[in-house]
Structures are given as C-alpha cells and as structure tokens.
A and B are shown apart, each in its own frame.
Chain A
Amino acid sequence: MKMCLVVDDSRAVRKVARRIFEGLNFDTAEAVDGLEAMAFCKAAMPEVVLLDWAMPTMDGLEFIKLLRQEPGGDAPIVVFCAEENEPAQIAEALDAGADEYIMKPFDGDIVASKLAQVGLL
C-alpha cells in the first residue's frame, strides 16, 4: 500500500485528509509541521506528501526546499494543500518543487482529481 504523509498543524484538517486518503487505499501518517515531517521522511520516504503552507516551526515552503535536497527526496509526490491561493504564491510552491496544489477548502473529489493528475490513482 502507498504511504501518504499528511502535514498540517490543524488536527481537524489532518483527520479529514486521513479519512480521504484511507478511502483511496493509502496508508497514512501525520505530522504537525515541517520539522516533524522532515524527521519522518529521513526515516522512510512516503509516496505522497499532502502539505500545508503556514505552520509553526517550519512551514511548507521551507520543508519542500529541504526535502528536495535530501537523498531520495525528489521521489515523493508533493501536493500542497493550503489557504494561500494567489497565483504568485502557487507559482512559488511549484518552483520550489511541488507537483500539484490544492486550495483550501477541499473535498475528496478534489484530492482524487489531483492524485489522478499526478498518476497516483
């Protein structure tokens, strides 16, 4: 089973995302910020990371820049899932190495649609 790491400082968002990914037959793990996510990835790279932007300690943009420099860090599909919805911000995330981008609020259809686009479904 493919592993999805859900990175978000909101417990409610993590819960919703976990339910969606489990419904799509993914194993899921959770991290509350970029720092925790990085520790997880160094131990074992997940197939996909669902990544919030604004988080304490280390935000999503810092995380993805570090992840992409790690050995094997180019492998995970990274899908931002954030409140930020200005075109310039989205472009910044893509330039930093994001594969797809979800603007909150989101639902299961949007997640499935994005995963299909990056070839994970």
Chain B
Amino acid sequence: MTPGSLDFLSELVRVRVGIVLKGEKAFMAETRLGPLARREGLESVEALLIDLRQSRDERLAKAVVEAMTLAETSFFRDPAVFSHIRDVILPALAAARPDGMVRVWCAGCSTGQEAYSIAMLALQAQAAAPNLKIDIIGTDISHRALEKAHSGIFTQFEVQRGLPIRLLLEHFEKAGDTWRVSDRLKQAVRWRQLNLLEDRRSVRAFDLVLCRNVVRYFEPETAKLVLEQMAPALAPDGRLVLGMEETLTASAFEPAESSIRVYRRKRQVSQAAA
C-alpha cells in the first residue's frame, strides 16, 4: 500500500468517525480491508483505495470506514466492572425507580457481547432486587457489527472469551458449530445504528451508559465532545462507565468508583438540565 493511500484512508476515517488510526496502520488496513476488496472483486487493498479515491462512492466509503472501526470485544470484559454493575449499580437504580425499570445504553456495542453480558447480569441481579426490569439499547456505527449482534450467533471461540461455562449453558443453545443466545436475552436488547459524532436530536434518559473502549480511539477533543454530549442523556443518579484504560476528559462528570472507571454527573450540571 502506498503512503498516499494510507494517508487518504487515515483522513477518511478521522473525518467520518473521529477515530485516529494508530500503530501498525498498514497491517491493520490490509487485514481489515482485504475481505472487502475481495467482495468488491478488486485484486488488492491498494486497488480498493484507489477506486474509492477516484469514484468517491459513498457506499464504498461507508463500508471501508466500518471495516476499519470494528472493535475487538468479549463477554464480561473486566469482570470487576460487571460485578459492580450487578451488585451495586443495578440494585440501587432499580430501588430508586417506582417501576424498577433501568434503561441501559451500550454506546459502541460492536458485536453485542457487552449488551448481552448486561442482560445476563440483570437476570442474576433480580435475585437480590426482584423489582428490577431492564431495557438495553446497543448502538454502533457499524451495520455489520449490529447485524451480528442482532443475530445473537457467536462462534465457539467467541463464547469462550469471558463467558463462564455455566452462563453459556444457561443462556445459549448450540446451533451446529455456533452458539445462539436465548430468546430471553434477545428480547432484553434492541439495536440501533448511531454515529457518536452526530448531533442527536432526540435525547432519551438513560440510567446507565456504557461507553467502554470507544473514546480511546478518538482525538482528545473529540472524546471530550462525545462524552459531554452524553451528560444530558443520563439520569441525575445515573452512571457512566468507561473502559479500564480510558480517562475522563469531560467536565460534566465526576468519579463515583474511579478504580473501575464509573462516573456520575456533576450535581450542578444535573440541576441546570432539570
């Protein structure tokens, strides 16, 4: 791949979704765009990028950006975070709501493992908080990731990354070489395509927002903007959870459990919004 094509690709991804490609860019481009180039009947990734530079084909541009931004994910990534959500956050939020309904937004949900993990946790948390009900929405920029998330079908490799075997037997059924989540879990989650950089016209209130291992790929200013935009969407007693290696840049939040990257809205901000 030529440096010119690599620069074009980097700029395309940065402008479209705010993500700065780091590290072995050329290698990443080859492995992620290779299958797309083959599907398009092109002989190489370089040919794909040249084609896109000339045609400015919107459909192709979207497919390229999607392929470059698919994130790695696993079930119950960072178990301490999920234990805290199950044992502390969900029961407290349910207790503070007359109908026990807790609304969860998984922002940047990729192929759905995190959202399904929350759905499994909620069923466990109901033992201690019987009135807990859960409504989960998973959003991602990638249609392909969302299609997979919605299908609820995972490979044997995927279900062995982070998912305890007893939860696999409880919530999945074997379908040939793959495993399919139960209808019960599927019903707990809805999926929507969303670019976090776009202004959101309708702001819903969520009680728990997970935005984990998403903003670390953004430029600092973009990360700050994206997180600030989430503040009005969070209930005054709600919680925002970031990834373990992410630091909060937005001033609208303050630490609730800083060791596991759990944040709440700052008081004055929630009053101003009320």
- The stretch that binds B, out of A32-40, A48-56, A66-74, A102-110, is A102-110
Of B79, B157, B165, B166, the contact of A116 (CB 8 Å cutoff): B79
Tell me whether B164 and A100 are in contact (CB under 8 A).
Answer: yes
Interface centre among B156, B160, B169, B173 (most CB of A within 10 A): B160
Residues of A within 8 A of B232 (CB): none
Q: Which of B192-247 contact A (CB under 8 A)?
A: none
Say which size band chain B's interface belongs to: 10 to 19
Residues of B within 8 A of A87 (CB): 169, 173-174
Tell me whether A103 and B160 are in contact (CB under 8 A).
Answer: yes
Tell me whether A85 and B156 are in contact (CB under 8 A).
Answer: yes
Q: Which of A44-103 contact B (CB under 8 A)?
A: 85-87, 90-91, 94, 100-103
Residues of A within 8 A of B157 (CB): 107, 110
Tell me whether A103 and B156 are in contact (CB under 8 A).
Answer: yes
Q: Mark B135-168, 1 if CB is under 8 A from A, else 0.
A: 0000000000000000000001100111011101
Tell me whether A110 and B165 are in contact (CB under 8 A).
Answer: no
Residues of A within 8 A of B173 (CB): 87
Residues of B within 8 A of A85 (CB): 156, 174
Tell me whether A113 and B160 are in contact (CB under 8 A).
Answer: yes
Residues of B within 8 A of A86 (CB): 174
B173 and chain A: residue at smallest CB distance: A87
Alpha-carbon separation in the docked complex, A30 to B272 (Å): 65
**Nearest CB on B from A97, distance (A):** 13
Tell me whether B165 and A101 are in contact (CB under 8 A).
Answer: yes
Alpha-carbon separation in the docked complex, A26 to B201 (Å): 54
Residues of A within 8 A of B79 (CB): 116-117
Tell me whether A106 and B160 are in contact (CB under 8 A).
Answer: yes
> A-B pairs with the 9 shortest C-beta distances?
A101-B165, A110-B160, A117-B164, A113-B162, A100-B165, A103-B156, A113-B161, A87-B169, A87-B174
